[in-house]
Chain A
Amino acid sequence: MSGYHVSPAQCVRFYSAPELRHTHLLFLVPLGAASIDLSKARRIKDVVFRPGSQNVEWITMALQTIVPEHRDFRQITIRVSYYLTLFEINGNGRRVIGEAIYRQWSVLDRLLVQLWDSRSIRPRVVCTKPGGKVQNAETRVGCLLPEMARRGMVVPD
């Protein structure tokens, strides 16, 4: 079972599955369809995004504003907090984290790889593991960004 309850103030995503033995509730404030426009910042070299929730659509939207005139762009870093990886995939990430979020990460995965292949802008996803409490955070993030993981661009902090 999984679903959303949307209120003006916040969005609550919940999911529950017998094999997980837990019901997970994620409370977050949606960013909506807004993001930042990088198209005019033609001298930009490095960007770092630190998502505070599993919602990464705003990152994709920002990266989609990269234009050919960004000749100095060198690196995109996404730093993923440990608590965003507090889920068990068990081969079924799409259901566990929800279709909408899963799709956002898939789109981001494709875009990052595309920017690397076509523009040589190096993408890097760094998984933080404070205190070593979370094992295999990069493996879990790798399930969301399979092509990035396959190319060895999902790395521990």
Chain B
Amino acid sequence: MQNHHLPQEILDYIADLLHDQPETLKRCCLVSRSWVPRTRKHLFADIRLRSVDDLRSWKKTFPDVGNSPAYHTRSLFIGCSSVVVAEDAEEGGWIRAFSRISSLDVDNGVWYLNTPAISLLTPFHNFSPTLKSLRMCPIAFPCPQLFDLVLSSPLLEDLTLTGHDDSFGNEDESHGLQTVLPSTSPPLTGSLDLNIFGGMGNTVRQLLDLPNGLHFRSLAFSWHCEADLPWTTQLVELCSDTLECLDIMCRLPSAFVSIPHRS
């Protein structure tokens, strides 16, 4: 098909209108080479690597990291982070091909907390300067490496952390893990969602140390111990100039037992 009568801007506009119709976009790719770049932008905007099979399939389809469509990806979900880390280490940083994502969602799927957080987070350090939204689940706290990642993301707005803090109540363990703070930090003007078994104290302490302060518009917390309440109060107060939405789930340990009477 000859399309030289249509200016590229029009072709791009057509592809943009089809952004939520992947099957149609795939057909567009077959029309002409000139249609490919714009359709790729939409086809690869949201990549979900849910399993090892997904990961291997991606790497088999796009063996050349430099020319892979990962460049177009804006939202990346990784459901097999331990495998990603291993393969990234083996092949010299293929994950960095996703250098323009704005949303990163790392979910191990199971509460496999024996994997050191430092190894899970290593490939992501400094890897996307455009990162705006970060979700990590589950993760073992306290985790200074996580805050290295936060600090290396200058545009970060939304932060969702789910995990377990084994050092709750053990002040000594949390000391000495603090990262070296730069003079600036991400804006953090979006949402903060903390769901940390064992208590969110250590994580909040690290957030409070960020040099630019906290300006979240939305706060969501799951309380797992009484100490989470004063931390919530402190965060609400610190974000009082910007806070618009607050969501609190009280998950303090409780149990309901019903014992039938003998007839």
Contacts and interface: CB of A to CB of B under 8 A. Distances in A.
Interface of A: 10, 16, 18, 21-29, 31-32, 34-38, 40-53, 58, 72, 83, 86
Given A37-B233, A40-B237, A51 B247 contact: no
Q: Is the interface of A mostly helix, strand, loop or mixed?
A: loop
A21 B261 contact: yes
Given A22-B258, A25-B259, A36 B243 contact: no
A24 B257 contact: yes
A49 B252 contact: no
Contacts of B241: 43
A47 B246 contact: yes
B240 interface: yes
Contacts of B250: 31, 49-53, 58
Nearest to B218: A46
Contacts of B253: 10, 27-29
B23 interface: no
A44 B244 contact: yes
A51 B222 CA distance: 10
Interface of B: 223, 225-226, 229-230, 232-233, 236-237, 239-261
A43 B249 contact: no
A44 B254 contact: no
B248 A83 contact: no
Contact of A27 (B232, B246, B255): B255
Given A26-B256, A32-B226, A34-B230, A42 B249 contact: no
A21 to B, nearest CB: 5
B233 A36 contact: yes
Contacts of A31: 226, 229, 250, 252
A85 B240 CA distance: 34
B252 A52 contact: yes
A27 to B, nearest CB: 4
Contacts of B255: 25-27
Contact of A47 (B247, B249, B261): B247
B226 A29 contact: yes
17 contacts: A16-B261, A22-B259, A22-B260, A23-B261, A24-B258, A25-B255, A27-B256, A28-B254, A37-B233, A41-B246, A42-B240, A43-B241, A45-B244, A46-B245, A48-B247, A52-B251, A72-B244
A52 B230 CA distance: 18
Nearest to A16: B261
B76 to A, nearest CB: 28
A23 B251 CA distance: 24
A26 B257 CA distance: 6
A41 B247 contact: no
Contacts of A41: 236-237, 239-240, 243, 246
A118 to B, nearest CB: 21
